[in-house]
Structure formats: structure tokens, C-alpha cells
Amino acid sequence: MDQFAGYIFDLDGTIYIGDQVIEGALETIRYLQSQNKKMLFLTNKTIESRERYVEKLNGFGVNIGLENLLSPSVVTLHYLQKNYHKALVYLIGETALKEELQQGGIQFAQSPEETDIVVVSWDRDFHYRHLNFAYQSVRRGAPIIATHPDRTCPVADGEVPDCGGMIGAIEAVTYKKIDVIMGKPSHLMALTALDILQVQASECLMTGDRLETDILMGRRAGMHTALVLTGVTSAEDVPTSIVKPDYILSSVSDLMFHAKRTGV
């Protein structure tokens, strides 16, 4: 699978799980780097800064910089700057996302009455006050956007609730669907990724462990897609899904093994 100019990788469940790198992932990345392939790592998680993710990958021995890491925080910031300039934002999210938005000039609302837009992200301290603030803001006409739709996040001993839980609670009480999703499978994330890589969608392989985010985003954007079975999706999930990957891999290391078997 060396025919692609650009390679986009999900992180959790694809490159690592928790603090453990998936077997063969490091060797695969180094192999693609030796072939001068363009690479970008995508995460839908917003509970850590992009700098922290780069540090984590560097700690595994993956030699990349901040320019190789894309998260919904970047897409959210650009979206707000373009469409809600000088708006007051109510954010449901953790410190890393709040700081990144603040550094980009975003200002935060102190009451539902002054809230121009609600941003929903993964918040492990999500509570009733968040829900009520968002509800009262939406009642007054504030639109809602979300950083990502993931229901769960893979961890070392299974899965934990993700941003989908916050979205579900807010949609249930407001009777209103989220207006725009920033992260995977959004076209906003795909377009940002392709712009960073400077490749055409048809020249790119999107690799991840989720059919409904990683693979769906790739297919919608016109990329080739590879599903890995090291995260939340099993081989049994594929036949019943309307989202079909181009390739199904036992792990990301299959990319390197396939290339070497074909004599690259």
C-alpha cells in the first residue's frame, strides 16, 4: 500500500491504546517516513493539547512535530474565527480546549442571556449546571456545534464515555440536533487535513479503527480507507455497516508488511 502520497492516521485504537503503542505501529511509521510519504495524525480527542499529543508520540519514538498533528480544536477555532467573530461562546469542554480557544482570541460567555453560540466537547466533569446553561442558551436562539461525535473512547481496559454522551444529553433536552460537527467524520476536518498535507483526496489513505468517524470521513472526502481491528471496531461489525472500508487490516503494521511483500 505504498501507492499513496499522503497517509492520515487516527491515534487511539490505531497507533496506541492508552499508554501502550500498538505492536508494529512505530516500525510502520518509520518505514513510511523512509519512503518520504506525507503523514498526518488525527485525533478527535480534545482533553489534551496538541502539544501533549506530539510529546506522547515523540515519547513512543515517533519523530513528528506539531505540524503533523490535527485535532478538532484547530477546526473549531478556525470555524469560530470565520463565522462567529467577536461572539461570546459557552464551552462545555476541558482546560486544554479552553486554553487553545482563548489563545486564538475566543471570548467566553458568563450567562445564557449573552451566549452567542454553544460549543460541546468531551468533558469528564460534565454536570447539571453545564446542561442547564446550554439549554437556556439554546432556548434563547444560540446554535450548537460539537468538536466530535464519538460515543466512546478506547482505553487500556475497554472504553469510556466520550463527547457523544454530552451531545446526547443536550439534544434530548433541547429537542435540537447539533448544527455542525468539527471533527471526524466532518468534511471540515477532512478539508483541513488535505490542506495541511497538500495532496488530493484520491492520493490519500485514511486509516482508523472507527467506521462511523474515521472511515466515513475518508469515504465522504474521496480518500481511500483502511479499517484496523485494534480499536473499537471488530471484523463482525463490517458486514452490517453501511460504511465499508477499502481495506481491513489486523493492525496498522499490515501497511508495512503488505508493501514489503509486494517488493517495495
Q: The domain that contains 118 carries what CATH number?
A: 3.40.50.1000
User: Looking at residues 96-108, what average pLDDT do you find?
Assistant: 95
Please report whether residue 80 resides in a domain. Answer: yes
pLDDT (0 to 100) of residue 264: 35
Please report whether residue 3 resides in a domain. Answer: no
Q: Is the pLDDT of residue 130 over 50?
A: yes
Q: How far is CA 97 from CA 73, 84, 100, in A?
A: 6, 17, 5
Please report whether residue 156 resides in a domain. Answer: yes
Amino acid found at 223: M
Summarize pLDDT for 203-232 with one digit per residue, the tens: 999 999 999 999 999 999 999 999 999 999
Q: Which residues are within 8 A (CB) of 126 and not within 5 positions of it... i.e. 6 or more apart? A: 92, 165, 166, 169
Q: Of 8, 65, 16, 14, nearest to 190 (Cα)? A: 8
Q: Is the pLDDT of residue 259 over 80?
A: no
Yes or no: say if 113 and 87 are a contact pair by the CB < 8 Å rule.
no
Please report whether residue 131 resides in a domain. Answer: yes
Q: For residue 125, what are the domain limits? A: 72-181
pLDDT (0 to 100) of residue 263: 38
pLDDT (0 to 100) of residue 159: 87
Q: Which of 11-15, 56-60, 77-81, 260-264 has the lowest mean pLDDT?
A: 260-264
State the Cα–Cα distance between residues 165 and 137, nearest whole angstrom: 19
Summarize pLDDT for 45-84 with one digit per residue, the tens: 999 999 999 999 999 999 999 999 999 999 999 999 999 9
User: Looking at residues 7-14, what average pLDDT do you find?
Assistant: 95
pLDDT (0 to 100) of residue 1: 63
pLDDT (0 to 100) of residue 225: 97
Please report whether residue 88 resides in a domain. Answer: yes
Query: Which 8-state DSSP code applies to residue 242?
Result: S
Give the three cell numbers for residue 64: 513528528
Please report whether residue 172 resides in a domain. Answer: yes
Please report whether residue 97 resides in a domain. Answer: yes
Q: How many domains does the chain have?
A: 1
Q: Is the pLDDT of residue 262 over 70?
A: no
Please report whether residue 109 resides in a domain. Answer: yes
Helix axes 187-197, 72-83, angle to 10 degrees: 100
